[in-house]
Copies of this chain bind each other. A is one copy, B any other.
Amino acid sequence: MTARGPIRLAMVGGGPGSFIGPVHRMAAELDGRMRLVAGAFSRDPAKNAQAAQAWGVSADRAYGDYHAMIADEAARADGAELVAVVTPNHLHFDVSAVALRAGLHVMSDKPATLDLAQASALADIVAASGRLYGLTHVYTGYPMVREAREIVRRGDLGAVRKIVVEYAQGWLSRPIEQAGDKQAGWRADPAQSGVGGCIGDIGVHAFNIAEFVGGARVERLSADVSTVVAGRVLDDDCNVLLRFEGGARGVLVASQISAGARNGLKLQVYGEKGGLTWRHERHTELTVDWLDAPTQVLHAGSPYLSAPARVASRIPTGHPEGFIEAFANLYRDMADAIAEGRADAGLVPDIADGVRGMAFVETAVAASRAGDGWVALPRSPT
């Protein structure tokens, strides 16, 4: 822990009605390592003021737009050091770019940008800025996801042969975007969401966690990305066959029309000697099934875990943390990196992950529309 005060955070987006903005706020401040000091929470002045008041941001630092906010905060001696980007997708690129160019670090919600071209451009901007860019693929912040990654890295399973990742939601089973649902509204609008609907909203999480834990990159895919609910513009169901570098097979299933599913992310990685399973609905557990020995279940907060998993729990085993704390782990890692002046934030997903995610989305959507079978995923330069 550093002796300097908390990292100063500004937020773009997150006003009343936002789902993910409040999560970022709670997560960033949870460990006392960051404090929200400024925001452009909403273009609606009343809502903007309401968010500022609720979150202890002084009225003069509740800005009407993010350009003004970034300019002013960058100029203040006590100005924000990090900008949390929690807007709909279409603003991710610009807010991030402006912040980085002003010398501020960025923590952006996923996906990184609206499309792959933007993501590549942003990668250049990050590189040129010398600032940190974190992408909140929150599932990488869960202790047992980090443990899973260590198990694979240590080679406990032998070579990875197969990865199956499923992300099932049901909340878009009806066309609620046509009935005024705010969360559904912008996600269903290509102008705000990009070419991907479900695949950009949650498929990209599944893709990210598969690579994060599996330790190899997707090289090729064959995708069935489609729209099930009548009248919807973007996809709401996607099923993708994968091949990883090194030859491992993969299957990625993501859907927002899996009626009755809540937020069912599940990852299975099979190696030569055993397989591991992590399920978000049992996120404190990691199951490892072995070819020749009893199944093991590892529990978050246990002393026997690897260091990256251990430090991702605040309280002892049996005392469950959750989604907010997983987010907070990303913010804490980012706080450490900023405080220590490091050039990277460790396990926090970065712009390279962002570029890969957008490559996945664009490639899968295009190949599926074209009726192609197997296509290659563009290699990112990194």
Chain A residues proximal to chain B, CB less than 8 Å: 1, 3, 5-6, 19, 22-23, 25-26, 29-32, 35, 53-56, 157-158, 161-162, 164, 166, 168-171, 173-174, 222, 224, 226, 228, 237, 239, 241, 243, 249-251, 253, 255, 257-264, 268, 270-275, 280-284, 287-299, 301-304, 314-325, 371-374
Contacts and interface: CB of A to CB of B under 8 A. Distances in A.
Given A222-B222, A295-B299, A324 B315 contact: yes
B226 A224 contact: no
A9 to B, nearest CB: 13
A318 B56 contact: no
A322 B162 CA distance: 29
A18 B237 CA distance: 43
**Nearest 10 interchain pairs by C-beta:** A373-B373, A263-B318, A260-B289, A262-B318, A320-B322, A295-B297, A322-B322, A260-B275, A294-B296, A260-B274
Contacts of A295: 260, 296-299
Contacts of A262: 289, 299, 301, 316-318
Interface centre among A31, A270, A288, A317 (most CB of B within 10 A): A270
Given A270-B260, A275-B260, A315 B23 contact: yes
Given A26-B31, A239-B249, A294-B297, 15 more contacts: A19-B315, A26-B30, A162-B228, A162-B237, A170-B270, A173-B291, A259-B291, A260-B274, A260-B275, A262-B317, A283-B320, A295-B299, A319-B322, A320-B323, A322-B325
Contacts of A372: 373
A173 B250 CA distance: 16
Nearest to A33: B54
Contacts of A287: 297
A197 to B, nearest CB: 14
Copies of the polypeptide in the assembly: 4
16 contacts: A162-B257, A162-B258, A173-B291, A222-B224, A222-B373, A226-B249, A237-B249, A259-B275, A260-B295, A261-B270, A261-B289, A262-B316, A263-B319, A280-B318, A295-B297, A371-B374
A164 B275 CA distance: 20
Given A3-B53, A259-B291, A321 B318 contact: no
A166 B169 contact: no
Contacts of A373: 222, 371-374
Contacts of A374: 371, 373
Contacts of A301: 262
Nearest to A305: B294
A31 B22 CA distance: 9
A158 B271 CA distance: 34
Contacts of A274: 259-260
A267 B287 CA distance: 20
A320 B22 CA distance: 15
A22 B314 contact: yes
A209 to B, nearest CB: 15
B283 A257 contact: no
